[in-house]
Structure formats: structure tokens, C-alpha cells
Amino acid sequence: MDDSLCRSKLVTDGSTSYFQSVLYDSLLDLPNVDVKIVDYNGRMPFVSQLERTFNSDVFIGMHGSGLTHMLFLPDWAAVMEIYNCGDRDCYADLARLRGVKYFTWHSDRENLIYPEDDGKHPHSGGAHKKFTNYRFDATEFKRVVRMVCCFSVVLDDLFAYSSFKRLRIPCGINEKHMVDYVRRHQQFVSEQRKLRRMQMSQDL
């Protein structure tokens, strides 16, 4: 497999074709991105669920229990919670505890999110963002996924060095500058030097 290929998983609950017809299709022409839809249902053996999750560089899904599979991601992976449904800390905290980078739809672009209705809580009956269906601007979705894949591929390279410590990427940095930021970072430069010295010593 091409080392530069970003292996992305789009998690669905199997109840809607929207992920397939719009979100999935919007990613098909992204260069060096291999995207697959996964439905972690009771018919899929747990070992298969672990295997599919671990063989992912980017893990994409709506706010919901499917995102708990991020616990089984490789260290260089990134998580994209498409929309947090107003619960901004839930899966962001889980990603932090797991040690993987977390992304979500930017709050200043929520005008590109289209809820079906206000949602209705099953117990209180009040409006609730977690209990409705959503549609998303496909162009914005594609832009964010491209940024996340860019981050993950670079981080995958960096994790080849055992002493690398996770970088803190500045909030708001876009995909155009992300590679340069990481490759110019002091930690990356230091690890590159160590690698070159190690290679030189092996050649002697």
C-alpha cells in the first residue's frame, strides 16, 4: 500500500443512505485518500471491528457511540466528529484521553449545517440537537476531511521516530500550512537529525 495513502473510515449507523449518497461521494476524488463506509453493528465480529478501526488513519463520524471505536485507533490517527450536536466536550475529551488529534465542524461555519428539525428528546419532549437528522455542505465537509487527512499523513511519518512527542497544532491552521508547520517544528527537525546520524553510522 502507498505510504502516502490516507485510509479513512466513515462511520454510519446503517439507518440512512445520506452518508453514501452525499458525504462519501464528495470524497471520492480526493487524491491519496481511500475512504470506506463502516457500520459497527451486531453482525460484525468484534475482532473485525478492531481490525477495521486500527487500519485507519482518519476516523469520521457523527456524534454517537460509534466514535468510541477511536480508542482502538493507531497513535498517528485523527478523529473527525462531523458535528458535535452541541456536546462539544464528549468525544473531544475521549480523543484527548486516547491521545489522538480531534477535529470537528468549525463553529463559525454552522450555517453550512442543515438540521431536519429542532429534534425532540425522547423523555422530556423538548428540542434537542442530538435527536434529529442533519445534512451538511459537501464542499465544506470535503475541505475539513482533506485537512484532517493531511495532518494524519504527516503525523504518520513523524511516528516512525520512537522518541517523537505529539505536537500541538495551532487552532485554526489550514491544510495549506499544516505540512510546513509540522516539518519546520523543532521536534521534527530534531528527529530528522537523529535519523540522519543513525543512517550515517550504519553506513560506516
Report residue 147 as a C-alpha cell: 485537512
127 within some domain: yes
Is 136 domain-assigned? yes
User: What does the pLDDT read at residue 94?
Assistant: 92
127: Cβ–Cβ under 8 A, 6 or more apart, which residues? 118, 119, 120, 121
How many independent structural domains does the chain possess? 1
Query: Does residue 193 lie within any of the structural domains?
Result: no
What is the Cα–Cα distance from 143 to 5, expressed in whole angstroms?
17
d(CA 172, CA 107): 11
Domain that holds residue 31: 6-157
Answer whether residue 197 is part of any domain: no
Per-residue model confidence (pLDDT) at position 179: 56
Q: Residue 176: inside a domain, yes or no?
A: no
Q: What is this structure's pTM?
A: 0.67
Question: What type of residue sits at position 63?
Answer: H
| Residue 178 within a domain | no
- Burial class of residue 60, CB neighbours in 10 A (0-12, 13-18, 19+): buried
Structural domain includes residue 1 = no
Task: State residue 145's pLDDT score.
Answer: 86
For residue 45, CA distances in Å to 39, 41, 50, 52, 80 come to 12, 9, 9, 11, 24
* Residue 18 belongs to domain with CATH number: 3.40.50
Judge whether 202 lies within some domain: no
Q: What is the mean pLDDT of each run of 10 residues along the chain (204 residues)?
A: 68 64 82 85 88 89 84 88 83 89 84 73 68 80 83 60 45 53 64 64 53
